[in-house]
Chains A and B, each alone.
Chain A
């Protein structure tokens, strides 16, 4: 990656002129050669090769994910996580719920006194954990400062050695670079820890100052305290991440670039596959071969027009509108919109099939669907908008909201857990190349 980064991108990406076409041709030849070489790999080696590549690549993200923070910050991180949790509990405790007076938690009703007490206790706990985190960070900062001073002394010694011994020039230069990198890393670490310490103290002071007013039960004061608690919890979460980046995090962008290139190859392979299938259809004049001709026509016209539009600077004035207005907005956009618009008409017949009253369950589903369909649109709001006071729960929009936020959410969560476990199993199977299917069942 270092090799790629030090060469200016402009060398590889000419924007116009003959060099561009040379580059396009060279890339096409290179891609075809690469694919040909891959296909020439004997079948018995191909699967192990894919398995090894998948397995090794998976390790990067696994390790990056598994090392949540530098080891020295683990304890502080844990205290900060607890402090953040308690601040969020406190914020939630003084948030008005259903049954509270408008905009505030009243100590006299709806368990308000207990909730305010819980908020006070949570703030005290958060303060305790923040103090512990601050002490811990101050401790490790002192240690890293000592390391930094020691590393600087080492660097100085190497400088002297570099000047004194001619024979050691090359070797000591490399060593010096390493030590220089180490001093830079330690300096940054000390600075990050110092910043984190400052932010923790700042948030702690804000929370303690605001929480002094917790006994004040006015809506404005409670809103203000909630804002401070929320901001402090977010601030602490940010502080946690600022001391948590591990040594692999910085390699994510190059990894991202490599994967983008692989994604580009997959698009190329997809096009190649489509061209092969449709080419055979045309060559053998199979039924519906004219659709394959349409595919070729669309592919070639769009590709050529896009290239001309992008790179033909001195093109006649009709070229740009041809691509942008006729092919892109006029054809592609309209075709895609038409495809999806058909769904509206299918829904009408699908809705009838799904909502035929065949049993009690289907009747219940239909009733729920009616309420949701009406409650979500303005006309539903208008139909029952007159209901107020103790009857307001009968309003269609309120029932719709209840259906979406209670039974729907419970069902969705159940499914999400199932999908999550299934996804984990599937990810492991792919990573370890245990997955069977059209890809691995066939001998490549």
Chain B
């Protein structure tokens, strides 16, 4: 890449000391920049925690915290993929279908109450591959046939659900018989559940990739204006397909983990995850129009919503009101998050 370095053609004197010091101030500023919104989010989180702690002393216990993080882990994992997709101005609605397909494939290939053969490591590889294939199909149909991602992934949702239904058949509910598997997710290591460590690791990896690689730069450029990205030689199609493959793989992983958490699965294993994750991404501050946001924000968004749900239960809010209440809070939160840019918020793309 050195051939793209500037070759000053005139009599140019460059003060290198000034330049390198400029580089240093940049690094510092870059880390601090864009921290405003996450701070507001953290503030909201603190307020929620304070309120719920006051309403029920059981809320602010270690056990409950571990419980919250355990619940938040799957939406976080799905949210990483959803954020990558939304950053480029697309949407992936196939999450629940992919989860169902991979979850059912996983349980049937593991030791389970229906019998059959325990395929060992293949019980993990095949469901993940299923997620990758469905994600790749999303990406290829979206980019090659130029069908809006909303439509493609909506269809893929039901294709995944159909695969799950066929695999599931009509036999009894299959439960995992291997206790190591069923207890892994919630098992506490170093104070936190295993599944949360996994989710946190994925968030960190994704955050680093977005910040420090060409992939991340391309995501922001494509999200802002894919024609410009293409005109400057960025591999737009490849980036989009890769993004949907990652999202598919993460949905597949979530299907496996959800099955492990439940101890068994049906073709309905994914239900409810999409409509927890997408609002969390938006509340976190990733713009649905693309080009702005990140996985750390999504992480905070998921934690916020999970705390909200958990707190409402512990505060004794009747389940009948709970869904309406959390919906209302969601709307308020999204309006508040988008208030500063309500003028140029373009939701449909």
Q: Answer yes or no: are A and B bound together in one complex.
A: no
On A, residues with C-beta under 8 Å from B are none
On B, residues with C-beta under 8 Å from A are none
